[in-house]
Structure 1
C-alpha cells in the first residue's frame, strides 16, 4: 500500500512539474513569446484591461526578474561565505514576487488561489503593482524605468530614493526601459495576428 501511494505521489508530482510552461525559445521578441505561448497573451490582455497597464512594461520587467521561468528562485545566501543558508529573499516565480507583497496582492484582489508560478497570476500581480505604484508614488504606468525602481526597492524605498546609492540598479532599470521600448514596437506589429481566432492563426500564420 505504501509503495502504491509513493508511486502515485511521484506520478502526480511529475505530471504537475511537466505542466509548467517552459521559457520561450526567443525571449528577445514579444511576438515570438506570445506565438509560442498564446495563453500568455490572453493573460496579459486580461491584465491590461483590469489595471490599464501596457503589456510591454510588465513583460520587460518579468524578463529581467525571471527570464520567464515559472520556478525561478533568488540566489542562495551563505553563512560565513560558504555554508548554504536559505535564499537571499522570499521572491519566487515568474514575477519574483516576495511573499509579503504577494499576500497583499491576494488579499486586496480577493484572489487567494493565485500562484506565483502561474503566468496569468504573475502578470496580474505585476499589473496590480504597477497600478498601485502610480497611485502611491505618481509614476506613470508607461514609465518602465521608474516602475522597475519601485518594483525593486518597494514604494517606501523609492520615496526615500534608496536607488540613488545603487549605480548598478540604475543600469538594470535602463535595460528594462530599453527592452520595454523594443517590446512595445514589436507588439504593434503582431497584435492583430494575436487577437485573431485560433483557426485564423492556424490557417494564415
Structure 2
C-alpha cells in the first residue's frame, strides 16, 4: 500500500495512532512515549512508499526498535551515573539510592510479570494487550509465525508456573485466563 499523498498518510496516522500510543505507553518510560511515537510516524512518512497493506504490525515493530534504542541510551546514562556515584571524588558516592520502594508487590500478577524475562513479557503483551494475530505478532518480533507461537506457549507456561508457586489462591482472574 504505497502512500502517495499527505491525505493517505493522515488516514493511516488517524487509524493507528491510538493503538501505537497504547503499545508504546505499556513498554516505554513515560518521558520517552511521545518521542517514540513521533519517531515511528516520522519513519513511516519517510518510508511511506514501502508500507505494507496492513501497516499496524510494521508500526509496532518500528516503535519497538525505537524503544530498544531509547533503552540502550538510558542504560548508558545510568551506567554513567553509577560510575560517577562510585567515584571517590564525588559527594554522590556517599548517597545510596533506596530502590526497594520501586518494587510493587501489591498484585501477584504484577510480581509474577516482573519475574518474567523481557522476551516473555513482550510476547504475552503482543497477545493479550495488543490482541495481534500470531502472524502480525511474528512480524513485530521479526520471526516466523511458528516461532512466535512457540514463544507464546512457553511464556504462558512460565507465567503460570510463577503464579502457582507464588500464590495459594486458586481463583483465576479473567486477565489470567488468557495466559493459562
Q: Which has the higher helix share?
A: 2
Q: Which has the higher strand share?
A: 1
TM-score, normalised relative to structure 2: 0.30
- Give the structure with higher Rg (CA): 2
- Larger RCO, structure (CA 8 Å, separation 6 or more): 1
TM-score, normalised relative to structure 1: 0.27
